[in-house]
Amino acid sequence: MNTENHSQTAAFIWSVADLLRGDFKQSQYGRVILPFTLLRRLECVLEPTRDTVLAAAKANPEKADTVKERILLRAAEQQFFNASPLALGKLSDTQTADDLLSYVQSFSQAAREIFEHFHFEDFVQQLAGANLLYQVVQRFASIDLNPARISNFGMGIIFEELIRKFAESSNETAGEHFTPRDIVHLTTSLVLTDQERNLKPNSIVTIYDPTAGTGGFLSEGDEYIQQVSKGVTVSLHGQELNPESYAICKADMLIKGQAVENIKLGNTLSDDQLPELRADFMLANPPFGVEWKKVQKQVFDEHNLKGFDGRFGAGLPRVSDGSLLFLLHLVSKMREPKEGGSRIGIILNGSPLFTGGAGSGESEIRRYLLQSDMVEAIVALPTDMFYNTGIATYIWVLFNNKPTERRGKVQLINATGRHSKMRKSLGSKRQYVNEADSEAIVRAYGAFAETDESKIFPVDAFGYRRITVERPLRLNFQASPDRLARLAEEKPLQKLETEQFEALVAACGALGPDQVYGSRPAFTRALKDAMKSLEFKLAAPQLKSVFSALSERDAEADVCADKNGNPEPDASLRDFENVLLGESVQAYFEREVIPHVPDAWIDVSKCDPLDGDIGMVGFEIPFNRHFYTFVPPRPLDEIDADLKACTDRIKAMIEELSA
């Protein structure tokens, strides 16, 4: 069944909303349609063994619950069962609600819990109260969701279509709940390509997604491994914040025969419910640019109290964007390199590449990842690829056990041109990556070679030292009327009595309005002489305020020195220079700075806290800069010719109108 047919099935299911209109709010449509779709899918999956389960239930009425559950699970040949003789198509039209709730309660516990997350019973009662329940039940009973007709992969597409429609009707963000399948497929292929040697028969492989959504990445990873390697057991683990998405993911895992207890509900950043997990492969698409203020206390506590013994020891990004926190969370789940290591594929927006200067949380996280040699490749995706945003996005591929040829290097792949237009936009998604383009991107990654689309850099190419460049303070001093007037604006001087302030102004004025002092020591001596007549003594902050009010910067004045004779820096002229890691700071300074400002010097007290060398170390990945191609502007003659042709056409049109 192709994607178009999946969309048609989703549209038919969503047409149930026509029955709900008027009795339910638009924002409630999905909360009715999604659980009923799940119920019908579970019913269709169990259909082949239905009679066997009923017979087993009838033959073992007195057995203990745990024993009976094992018997029925074996009879169902699934990880769940339903022991009721009822079905959606067999419910009574007079006591539909009671029959339906009895039917749902007859599922095994793991399946029953799924409907609790949808508050299914509440909506059943609302439907019954509006006299709509029987019509809705009959509509869903007529929908064929048999696995022979619709695979688990296809069912995933249908659920995602329904969630997207639900999000649109309730002004929610669909992209927070699932990732487009073309991007899921590409990311999974990048992470799992060339891993066949690690997928040996009878081995157990663990896949983890900390923002599992409806389980797209987990399903795709499982399917990929089953295709390339036989006899491998895939163990799927995930955590999801949204209850409805969690319920769908859990149902998908049930149908696949996965251990549903490995799928958790909750906030991954504040409450990691799989703390002991170490996964072979990790795939994630955390929400773009979402603030983490709600979990700020828990994250700060873990960072400050546990350091690198926790998940966030490398640093904390700004509260407005938690993307890098999810990346650090995944890194904490990596196996040790001696155990084979772990590979990560995570989709991020552009800000984690460059946001934050040297010493910032973002820069320190990039530094940790790059200097630990975990970043293997970064792939730039086309724009307009996601349902809720058209922004630029990137797939980061990380591996803590790189092959020899990749060690100490990072591959950047520009895949922004690898896309096809969709016949019909879905939200903000107007483009997709087709199979051919997906394979080309994976081949470029696997080839690990320099091309127009692929560039390879040493890790240090993304690092720099930010040095502080100071220039001397040069001031002149004058007791002009304008500068004397500024004395009243100085807060320390505002504490003087009126008579004292007037006496101070008079003393300063005695220096003469036309006398300009280009030397601070000379002015200091003259000021002290002028202030001998005062009957009070200025405090140090007040004396400093006098100097401030009567001074102005003057490039021709003498350098102001401290008590040791060293030049004082002028904060207004302070500048910063970024020196590539590995380059001599002094050589750079003498080459790039001294020829332009000969009196400048480096503030050697500003050192990196980790390596102790001069300058604060920073890391950024200026992706676009490395792929920028200069396109010269057209010759002026061509532009002039186009303008003349345009004006000629306008003149002709005006003449026609006036004729």
Q: Are residues 92 and 215 in the same domain?
A: no
322, 343, 323: which is closest to 334 by C-alpha?
A: 343
What's the domain range around 530?
475-553
pLDDT at 176 (0 to 100): 53
Report percent pLDDT > 70 for the chain. Answer: 98
Q: Are residues 332 and 296 in the same domain?
A: yes
* Residue 659 pLDDT grade (very low, low, confident, very high; cuts 50, 70, 90): low
Q: Are residues 255 and 136 in the same domain?
A: no
Min mean pLDDT across 401-410, 548-557, 619-628 is at 619-628
By the 8 A CB rule, do 135 and 18 touch? Answer: no
Quick: pLDDT tens for 204-218.
Answer: 999 999 999 888 899
152, 220, 211, 214: which is closest to 189 by C-alpha?
A: 220
pLDDT at 171 (0 to 100): 55
Say whether pLDDT at 615 is over 80.
yes
3-class SS of residue 618: strand
389, 452, 399, 450: which is closest to 425 by C-alpha?
A: 389
Say whether pLDDT at 463 is over 80.
yes
Residue 628 lies in a domain: no
Say whether pLDDT at 37 is over 60.
yes
pLDDT at 65 (0 to 100): 78
The residue to which tokens 């013994």 are assigned: 309
pLDDT at 270 (0 to 100): 95
From 533, 553, 573, give the residue that closes a domain.
553
Min mean pLDDT across 116-125, 156-165, 439-448 is at 156-165
Residue 241 lies in a domain: yes
pLDDT at 4 (0 to 100): 59
Roughly what angle, to the nearest 10 degrees, separates helices 133-141 and 96-105?
50
Q: Are residues 255 and 145 in the same domain?
A: no
Mean pLDDT of the chain: 91
Q: Are residues 457 and 507 in the same domain?
A: no
- Tell me how long the chain is: 659
Give the Å distances, CA to CA, from 29 to 20, 211, 240, 565, 602: 7, 24, 22, 78, 65
Q: List the CATH number of the domain containing 202.
A: 3.40.50.150
pLDDT at 172 (0 to 100): 54
Q: How far apart are CA 81 and CA 53, in angstroms?
A: 8
Min mean pLDDT across 220-234, 448-462, 545-559 is at 220-234
Say whether pLDDT at 174 is over 60.
no
Q: Are residues 200 and 71 in the same domain?
A: no
Residue 200 lies in a domain: yes
Residue 575 lies in a domain: no
pLDDT, average across residues 500-504:
94
From 172, 190, 207, give the residue that closes a domain.
172
From 115, 142, 172, give the residue that closes a domain.
172
Q: Are residues 153 and 191 in the same domain?
A: no
Q: Are residues 25 and 126 in the same domain?
A: yes
3-class SS of residue 617: strand
Residue 408 lies in a domain: no
Q: Are residues 316 and 204 in the same domain?
A: yes
pLDDT at 424 (0 to 100): 84
Q: Are residues 119 and 204 in the same domain?
A: no
Residue 312 lies in a domain: yes
Quick: pLDDT tens for 532-544.
Answer: 989 999 999 999 9
Number of compact structural domains in the chain? 3
pLDDT, average across residues 187-211:
90
pLDDT at 175 (0 to 100): 47
Provide the token pair at 408: 């100490």
By the 8 A CB rule, do 467 and 615 touch? Answer: yes
Residue 357 lies in a domain: yes
Write the DSSP assignment of 285-331 as a string of letters.
-PPTT---GGGHHHHHHHHHHHGGGSS-TT----TT--HHHHHHHHH
Residue 31 lies in a domain: yes
Provide the token pair at 456: 């390879």
Q: Which residues pair with 399 in a beta bridge?
A: 343
Q: Are residues 14 and 140 in the same domain?
A: yes
Of residues 324 and 29, more confidence is placed in 324
Q: Are residues 68 and 143 in the same domain?
A: yes
Quick: pLDDT tens for 279-323.
Answer: 999 999 998 888 999 999 999 999 999 999 999 999 999 999 999
